[in-house]
Amino acid sequence: MLSAVQSQMGAGEISFEEVTSIFKTGGTKGLSGDSVEKIPKIKITRMNNEDESGERVSCSVCLQDFQLGETVRSLPHCHHMFHLPCIDVWLVRHGSCPLCRRDM
């Protein structure tokens, strides 16, 4: 929980780690770093850079579009894709897809 002083601070004065710690909840235990590394990586191409409606695919964590040639992680059961730095930290903490919450 935030202290009274922290709650008065502006968003620019709080670190990323402090922000993410606010949202820590119970639930699935995170994966080991070795387990995260075993999850498939794919390269973004013209074939996988758009969804069924023709919209560019983006990372649901940072909301940035994937760039051609970029390497991303595709989760095995749901096939949601994320930037490596975005999803790797999440999986170590939570062990589930941040979009659909499916356990790894």
The answer to whether residue 66 is domain-embedded is: yes
Q: How far apart are CA 57 and CA 49, in angstroms?
A: 5
Residue 32 lies in a domain: yes
Q: What is the pLDDT of residues 48-104, one digit of tens each?
A: 998 888 889 999 999 999 999 999 999 999 999 999 999 999 999 999 999 999 988
Instruction: With respect to residue 1, please indicate whether it lies within any of the assigned structural domains.
Output: no
Distance, CA of 75 to CA of 96 (rounded, Å): 9
Q: How many domains does one find in the chain? A: 1
Q: Is there a contact between 83 and 90 (Cβ–Cβ < 8 Å)?
A: no
Q: How does pLDDT run across 29-49, given as a tens digit for each residue? A: 899 989 999 999 999 999 999
Between CA 42 and CA 64, with CA 73 as vertex, the angle to 5 degrees is 100
Q: Is residue 72 part of a domain?
A: yes
Q: Report yes or no on 22 lying in a domain.
A: no
| Coil/strand/helix, residue 34 | helix
Identity of residue 9: M
List the CATH number of the domain containing 43: 3.30.40.10
CA distances from 57 to 32, 35, 44, 82, 91 (A): 27, 25, 10, 10, 20
* 17 inside domain: no
Q: Does a structural domain hold residue 69?
A: yes
* pTM (whole model) above 0.85: no
Domain range for 86 = 27-93
84 CB-near residues (< 8 Å, 6+ apart): 41, 71, 72, 73
Evaluate whether residue 101 is within a structural domain.
Answer: no
